[in-house]
Chain A
Amino acid sequence: MSISDKSERALSIDELLQRNVYDVDDEPHIIVDTEKCLKCRVKPCTLLCPAGCYTLSPDGEILFSYEGCVECGTCRSICPMDAITWNYPRSGRGIYYRFT
């Protein structure tokens, strides 16, 4: 549950994703070979994944979390390292859009 907020301020990606409905699968639908990310110079996923699923740890590693994924497919189309095994969630799980 999140709190309704009508203030005019920039929201973090977590705050934005909290507005969505998800039924998160027990198993991730996307697998990232983060070993490959270590050799990636650009890491475009950290800026272009609209759900902020790819973050950089303080020591420069890619941390991936699938829970907030909006299933758009951006990451798989921009990954320079071919590090992503991409699929949709099963059983109707994942994002559930209502007002889009």
Chain B
Amino acid sequence: MGSIPTRFDVIVVGAGPAGAAAAYHAAKRGFKVLLVERGRGAGSKELYGGRIYVGPLRDVWPGIEKEAPIHRWVVEERLSIIGDGEVATLSYRYSNPVSFTAYLPDLTRWMVSKAEEEGVVFVDEVRVDSLVRDGEGRVIGIRSGPDVAYASVVVDAEGANRLLLERAGIVDALDAKRAPIALGVKEVLKLPKGAIEDRLGLSDGEGLSWLIAGTVTKGIPGGGFIYTFKDTIAVGVVVHLGHSVNAVEAGVLKESVKDLVESIRLHPYFKRLWRDSDIVEYGAHLTVECGLDYMPPHLAYDGLVIVGDAAGLLLNLGYTVRGVDLASYSGMLAAEAIAKAHDLGGMNAENLRVYENMVKESFIYKELVRHRGICWLTKERRFFTSYANILLGILSNLYVQEFKHPTVFEAVKASIRSGGEALLPLIGRILKVVREL
């Protein structure tokens, strides 16, 4: 195949929201770009919770609100804490929605079609096996089976499961006990027409996001989620993987992660919402729990920049998760940095570290730093077990009374005592949670 041109200015590995954005913006700046994807078409290997914040995406993808396959705008947030039989729910209705739901495979296909319109050569069904480096360690291309393609710079957008960076020795082999990673598992339920609107009190095109804490994860840090799409609902759980292994070792977790999702789907409080529904898909994906701790030592090396989940650019705040917008935004920054490095004389690490600085000065990094405290929460098992029960206990003390209602303070005190906690340290921890959030 000697006649085939295998030299590009930029090669992007992974056609997700980060890779598609990097390819699109690099091509827009006149670079010859190859975008390589292991799946069949774009998006076919992607799975996420279900909600995307539109703000940063407006800069990355002009016209996204008009053209992209958006399902519903999230007009309501719900947060439920569930115990063995009780449920406490908090809800918030927006005046102006800031996020939407979409099938990520469809949205990604739209992004890649935009990139192709700009001249990106998009190649699917090809698994990249390794980064190719020269004698001095500079990344000069990619290898797939017997084939090599060369580029001045490679953009690594391989996602949270970083086989290429591991093989290149840039990050450690993935180890759940050390890395801040979680497993998301979800089911997609197809509902009868109009059922989502009727059962959840939504109008046409309105959606909701619903996070669930409490016993759903059997005390493992994590939680459940529900998102609404056009005629489907996604139901799932996210569990911290290191703690999950500990729970298996300790004999606390005796059922499979699939059963955790099933227990939400079949929970008496929730199951009425999707009566007469048909499960049309089931899947799972790794996600980053605490972005800064997952970040590689650098975001740019000689001939290489790292974007999206692979760079740890995912914000998990407990009450909301942001990944797609951050990923796409970082892809755009990478393309800008590549253009700057080109003007500075080449794709060496020194020039490409412009990208690292751009990320650090952007809202992405500032948000990750500002919310760093959330990482502490993911290690605080009590938050996911006894605290949930204490809160439910307070509510049941207040409400489950036939003659004499306690004062709020009495209800709080009684519930904390029966939860085996002392009042003052608990208040201290709650204040810490509030501060970190």
Residues of A within 8 A of B (CB): 4-6, 8-11, 13, 16-17, 19-20, 23, 42, 44, 46-52, 70-74, 76-78, 80, 86-92, 94-100
Contact = CB atoms under 8 A, between A and B. Distances in A.
A80 to B, nearest CB: 8
Given A6-B276, A20-B281, A70-B284, 10 more contacts: A11-B279, A44-B249, A48-B256, A48-B257, A72-B284, A77-B241, A92-B40, A95-B45, A97-B44, A97-B281
Given A20-B283, A47-B257, A92-B124, A100 B241 contact: no
Nearest to A17: B282
Contacts of A52: 256, 258
A3 to B, nearest CB: 10
A50 B283 CA distance: 8
B122 interface: no
Given A50-B258, A100-B283, A77 B176 contact: yes
A73 B282 contact: no
A97 B250 CA distance: 34
A89 B145 CA distance: 12
B271 A89 contact: no
B176 A78 contact: yes
Closest 10 CB pairs of A and B: A92-B125, A92-B40, A50-B284, A73-B161, A100-B47, A16-B282, A77-B176, A77-B174, A99-B188, A44-B248
Interface stretch (B81-89, B177-185, B365-373, B405-413): B177-185
Contacts of A8: 266, 271, 275
B280 A99 contact: yes
Contacts of A13: 256, 258
A29 B394 CA distance: 51
Given A51-B284, A96-B39, A78 B127 contact: no
A88 B125 CA distance: 11
Contacts of B161: 72-73
Contacts of A50: 183, 185, 256-258, 283-284
Q: Chain B: interface residue count, which band?
A: 35 or more
Contact of B278 (A5, A76, A91, A94): A5
Nearest to A80: B245
B255 interface: yes
Given A47-B253, A50-B185, A100-B188, A87 B163 contact: yes
A23 B276 CA distance: 29
Given A74-B183, A92-B38, A48 B244 contact: yes
Contacts of B229: 99
A13 B256 CA distance: 10
B241 A74 contact: yes
B259 interface: yes
Among B47, B248, B282, the one with the most A-chain Cβ atoms within 10 Å of its Cβ is: B282
Among A8, A97, A98, the one with the most B-chain Cβ atoms within 10 Å of its Cβ is: A97
Among A49, A88, A96, A99, the one with the most B-chain Cβ atoms within 10 Å of its Cβ is: A99
20 contacts: A9-B266, A13-B256, A20-B282, A44-B244, A47-B248, A48-B183, A48-B245, A50-B256, A50-B257, A71-B45, A73-B174, A74-B183, A74-B286, A77-B179, A77-B241, A80-B245, A91-B125, A92-B39, A97-B47, A99-B232
Given A20-B281, A72-B183, A89-B127, A10 B259 contact: yes
Nearest to A23: B40
Contacts of B241: 48, 74, 77-78
B118 interface: no
B104 interface: yes
B283 A95 contact: yes
B259 A72 contact: no
Contacts of B249: 42, 44
Nearest to A41: B249
Nearest to A12: B258
Contacts of B386: none
Contacts of A19: 279-282
Contacts of A97: 43-47, 105, 281, 283
A71 B183 CA distance: 12
Contacts of A42: 245, 248-249
Contacts of B258: 13, 16, 50, 52
